[in-house]
Homo-oligomer: A and B are copies of this chain.
Amino acid sequence: MRVKLIGITVALAVAGTAWAATVRDEPIQPLQPAKVTNPGKVELGKKLFFDPRLSRSGFISCNSCHNLSMGGSDNLKTSIGHNWQEGPINSPTVLNSSLAVAQFWDGRAATLKEQAGGPIANPGEMAFTHDLAIDVLQSIPGYVAEFKSVFGSSRIDIDKVTSAIAAFEETLVTPNSAFDKWLQGDDKALNARELAGYKLFKESGCVACHNGPAVGGTSFQKMGVVEPYKTTSTAEGRSAVTGKDEDRFNFKVPTLRNVELTYPYFHDGAAQTLEEAVEIMGRLQLGRTYSKQEIGDIVAFLKTLTGDQPSFIMPLLPPSSNDTPPPQPFAK
């Protein structure tokens, strides 16, 4: 893993390597660094992303389940919500989520902005309401000043809150992976095994769904095409949104960017290792039984998708005032 400071473009001088200006013609494209047009809004969004006062308990923030120290995920099978409720689904990484066709596993939010309001008001997650969250923020002088500076108004509303969080999340891209360097013409960026893994990944059909800059996130697909997927999870997938029976068990194809950091895998978090995930995907989606060697090759390739992780100064949150409603972690 390498780090970059958000908003700072780092010029990499790679000794002995002449990078081609052109990009290889592959079903996966390199990630581009985020362009920050409104740094004040991103900073505000970062604070909100880390602020547990957006939850009823004062304990759970966006970062609790999309932990930016851990690949933008919580590395749990399913997440922990208010009052230690067991979540119904695996927390998807927030990294590169701006590239997805829609948000949540079932795509029920069209945009990051729309997504950001969901967990705040979900009784099983942050268990707050938008109105109560706004009451809290409006009572905090440091936030009032910052919203005024960013939005030109001291009146905080959920639209501004989710818009700022989305602006921060849009910066959470992870360029400069070894695979991107190879895509950009650096032949030495991948070793023979990684290249063999990519070749197999491409030729055996994984790229049919895992394609584009995010290596996924562009479509909804059925989990269990050739063989049915067996799970104790009650998540229905896309049909919960469309109401159509044929969408049952259709889930958004997850991004494979940084996949070595976002274990465990699948919507139910049932696959603990990448080897297990590759074996199951090959069998269930492609009807193919990969050998141990082949699985190792693909996993070696997948690990080349880990890019520069977002790197930033841990935000300092403006303190509550005497008028701030206290959190209610234990109230029934």
A residues bordering B, Cβ < 8 Å? 1, 3, 50-53, 57-59, 64, 67-71, 74-77, 80, 83-84, 86, 260-261, 263-264, 272-273, 275, 309, 311-317, 319-320, 322, 326-327, 329-330
Q: Which residue of chain B has the shortest Cβ distance to A273 in the bound complex?
A: B322
Known: A80-B59, A320-B75. A3 touches B313 (CB 8 A): yes
Taking CB atoms, residues of chain B closer than 8 Å to A309 are 316
Taking CB atoms, residues of chain B closer than 8 Å to A70 are 317, 319
Q: Taking the nearest CB of chain B, how far is it from the CB of A138, in angstroms?
A: 17
CB contact between A83 and one of B84, B263, B316, B322 (< 8 Å): that residue: B84
A314 touches B264 (CB 8 A): no
Taking CB atoms, residues of chain B closer than 8 Å to A311 are 313-314, 316
CB contact between A319 and one of B58, B80, B263, B315 (< 8 Å): that residue: B263
Taking CB atoms, residues of chain B closer than 8 Å to A272 are 322, 326
B3 touches A317 (CB 8 A): no
A330–B25 Cα gap in the complex (Å)? 46
A330 touches B59 (CB 8 A): no
Q: Which residue of chain B has the shortest Cβ distance to A321 in the bound complex?
A: B273
Known: A314-B311, A322-B275. A329 touches B76 (CB 8 A): yes
Known: A1-B316, A71-B319, A273-B322. A327 touches B50 (CB 8 A): no
Taking CB atoms, residues of chain B closer than 8 Å to A327 are 75-76
Identify 20 residue pairs between A and B in the complex whose beta-carbon atoms are under 8 Å apart, listed by A's number. Answer: A3-B313, A50-B69, A51-B69, A53-B75, A59-B76, A69-B315, A69-B317, A70-B317, A70-B319, A76-B327, A77-B326, A83-B84, A84-B84, A86-B329, A263-B320, A264-B326, A272-B326, A273-B322, A312-B313, A314-B314
Q: Taking the nearest CB of chain B, how far is it from the CB of A303, in angstroms?
A: 10
Q: Taking the nearest CB of chain B, how far is it from the CB of A49, in angstroms?
A: 11
A118–B75 Cα gap in the complex (Å)? 24
Q: Which residue of chain B has the shortest Cβ distance to A322 in the bound complex?
A: B273
Taking CB atoms, residues of chain B closer than 8 Å to A320 are 75, 263
B69 touches A330 (CB 8 A): no
7 more contacts with CB within 8 A, not counting A1-B316, A76-B327, are A50-B69, A71-B319, A77-B326, A80-B329, A86-B329, A263-B319, A272-B322
CB contact between A313 and one of B51, B57, B313, B329 (< 8 Å): that residue: B313
Q: Give the residue among A1, A83, A316 with the most B Cβ atoms within 10 A.
A: A316
